[in-house]
Structure 1
Amino acid sequence: MANELLENLDRLHTTELGVIRIKKNLSLNVEN
């Protein structure tokens, strides 16, 4: 699911900060 999010990030209407926030959240989920 995380890979699908990363592949579709360009489709989402998010700010650059939003993308960074999403990536940080994904990395935290992967570590845990």
Structure 2
Amino acid sequence: MKNKIPLITFILAALFVAGGFAFFYWIKIFPFN
């Protein structure tokens, strides 16, 4: 599979998605109430 997108873009997207999931689960575990 050829790499068609820049590696930095893939890394930034992965970090963004991982951060979103981490934030979502953090809110689920520690609700603000």
CA radius of gyration, larger in: 2
Q: Normalising by structure 2, what TM-score? A: 0.53
User: Which runs of no fewer than 5 residues in structure 2 stay unpaired?
Assistant: 24-33
- Tell which has more relative contact order, 1 or 2 (C-alpha 8 A, sep 6+): 1
Aligned-pair identity (%): 5
Stretches of 4+ aligned residues off by more than 2 angstroms = none
Task: Please list every run of 5 or more consecutive structure 1 residues that lacks an aligned counterpart in the other structure.
Answer: 1-9
**Considering only aligned residues, what root-mean-square deviation do their CA atoms show, in Å?**
1.5
TM-score calculated relative to the size of structure 1: 0.55
Q: How many residues align?
A: 21
Structure with greater helix percent: 1
